[in-house]
C-alpha cells in the first residue's frame, strides 16, 4: 500500500518544490528541505505517483503520471508563494527541468542535483550501461517485465554510516523511508521515455540553473549528465562539483554544501527579480 510521505514546511513567499528520484521517496530531500526552510523558504516535499509503495504500485504508473503529480504539486505550492523554484534529485532533476521548460513564466530557478539522463556511473555493470536503450522495446513487447534491476552497494552513498541506515530500511522493505531495493524494468523503461522527451526541451530553458553533481557519482557520470545539461540549457548556470559524495548528494557527506549553495543561488535569483521590479517602478 502506498504511504503518503509528503511534507509542507511554511515560510516566506519564496517557495521551493522538491522532487525525489525514481524508486525514491521525499525523505531523500528532507534534510535539504529543513535547511531551506530554516533560511526562510516555504518548502513542499512532493511524492511522485506510484512511489512509496511496492514494485507493483510503481509499475502501474507511467512517466506522464509522475509528471502530472509534479504539476499538481507546483500548482499547490504556487498558491502559497510569489516566487516558485523547483529542485530535484536524479530523475527528479529531469522532471524539474521539464517543469522549467514547460512553465518559463512561473519557475524562477532550478536546482539540478545528480541529474540522470544516462545510467553510466562506475557502479553500473558494463552490460547494463549498453542495454538500457532496449528497455522501451522490451516493455512494448511485454518481455521480462517482472525483472528487477537490484540496487547494489554503495547505494549512491559514500558515507558508510548513512549507507548502513538506508540499506537496512531499503532491504527491510520500508519503501516510504528509503525507497525500493530494486528498479522494476517497466519503470526504467518509463524513465527512458522521459529522458527522450526532455532532452530536446533543454534548449528551451532560460531560467537560472544550479547544477550540483559528484565527480565520483556511482550512478550517473558528471560529464555526460551534469555537463550535458549545462551545455544544453540557454539560461545562466552554475556547476558545483562535489568530491566527497556519490549519487545521493542531498543526504551524503556534502549535504550541507548542497543546502548552502542552493540558498545562496536562489537568494541571488530573488535579489535579481527584486532589482528588476525596483527598476520597473522607478
Q: Over 6-64, what HEC string results?
A: CEEECCCCEEEEEECCCCCCHHHHHHHHHHHHHCCCEEEECCCCCCCCCHHHHHCCCHH
Other beta carbons within 10 Å of 56: 9
Kindly state the average pLDDT of the residues 106-115: 98
Which pLDDT score is estimated for 130? 64
Q: Is 3.40.50.1820 the CATH number for 7-281?
A: yes
Q: Is the pLDDT of residue 85 over 70?
A: yes
Kindly state the average pLDDT of the residues 266-278: 82
C-alpha 276, offset from chain centre: 30
Q: Is the pLDDT of residue 166 over 80?
A: no
Quickly state the pLDDT bin for 1 (edges 50, 70, 90): confident
Kindly state the average pLDDT of the residues 68-84: 98
Quickly state the pLDDT bin for 54 (edges 50, 70, 90): confident
CB 113 within 8 A of CB 93: yes
State the chain's mean pLDDT as an integer. 89
* Residue-wise pLDDT tens digits, 232-248: 999 999 999 999 999 99
Residue 137 CB contacts under 8 Å (≥ 6 apart), including other chains = none
Q: Is the pLDDT of residue 280 over 60?
A: no
Quickly state the pLDDT bin for 148 (edges 50, 70, 90): low
Q: Is the pLDDT of residue 270 over 90?
A: yes
Which pLDDT score is estimated for 123? 85
Which pLDDT score is estimated for 282? 43
Least confident of 58-67, 133-142, 261-270: 133-142
List the grid coordinates of 274. Answer: 527584486
Q: Is the pLDDT of residue 55 over 60?
A: yes
Which pLDDT score is estimated for 9? 98
Quickly state the pLDDT bin for 124 (edges 50, 70, 90): confident
| Boundaries of every domain in the chain | 7-281
Q: Is the pLDDT of residue 141 over 90?
A: no
- The SS3 call for residue 239 is strand
Which pLDDT score is estimated for 135? 63
Which pLDDT score is estimated for 181? 67
Which pLDDT score is estimated for 150? 63
What is the share, in percent, of the chain residues with pLDDT greater than 70? 83
Cα–Cα distance between 270 and 262 in angstroms, integer? 12
Q: Is the pLDDT of residue 281 over 50?
A: no
Least confident of 18-22, 62-66, 121-125, 168-172: 168-172
Amino acid at each position: 500500500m502506498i504511504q503518503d510521505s509528503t511534507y509542507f514546511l511554511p515560510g516566506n513567499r519564496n517557495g521551493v518544490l522538491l522532487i525525489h528520484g525514481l524508486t525514491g521517496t521525499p525523505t531523500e530531500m528532507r534534510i535539504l528541505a529543513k535547511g531551506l526552510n530554516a533560511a526562510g523558504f516555504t518548502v513542499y516535499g512532493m511524492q511522485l505517483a506510484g512511489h512509496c509503495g511496492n514494485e507493483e504500485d510503481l509499475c502501474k504508473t507511467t512517466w506522464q503520471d509522475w509528471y502530472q503529480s509534479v504539476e499538481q504539486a507546483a500548482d499547490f505550492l504556487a498558491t502559497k508563494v510569489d516566487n516558485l523554484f523547483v529542485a530535484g534529485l536524479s530523475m527528479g532533476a529531469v522532471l524539474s527541468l521539464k517543469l522549467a521548460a514547460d512553465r518559463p513564466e512561473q519557475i524562477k530557478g532550478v536546482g539540478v542535483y545528480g541529474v540522470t539522463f544516462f545510467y553510466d556511473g562506475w557502479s553500473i555493470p558494463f552490460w547494463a550501461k549498453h542495454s538500457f536503450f532496449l528497455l522501451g522495446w522490451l516493455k512494448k513487447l511485454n518481455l521480462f517485465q517482472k525483472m528487477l534491476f537490484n540496487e547494489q552497494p554503495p547505494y549512491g552513498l559514500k558515507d558508510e554510516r548513512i549507507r548502513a541506515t538506508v540499506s537496512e530500511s531499503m532491504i527491510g522493505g520500508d519503501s516510504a523511508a528509503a525507497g525500493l531495493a530494486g528498479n522494476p524494468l517497466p519503470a526504467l523503461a518509463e524513465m527512458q521515455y522521459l529522458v527522450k522527451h526532455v532532452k530536446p526541451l533543454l534548449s528551451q530553458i532560460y531560467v537560472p540553473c544550479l547544477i550540483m553533481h559528484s565527480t565520483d557519482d556511482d550512478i550517473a557520470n558528471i560529464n555526460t549528465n551534469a555537463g550535458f545539461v549545462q551545455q544544453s540549457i540557454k539560461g545562466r548556470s552554475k556547476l558545483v562539483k562535489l568530491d566527497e559524495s556519490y549519487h545521493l548528494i542531498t543526504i551524503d557527506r556534502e549535504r550541507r554544501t548542497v543546502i548552502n549553495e542552493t540558498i545562496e543561488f536562489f537568494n541571488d535569483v530573488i535579489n535579481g527579480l527584486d532589482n528588476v521590479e525596483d527598476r520597473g517602478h522607478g
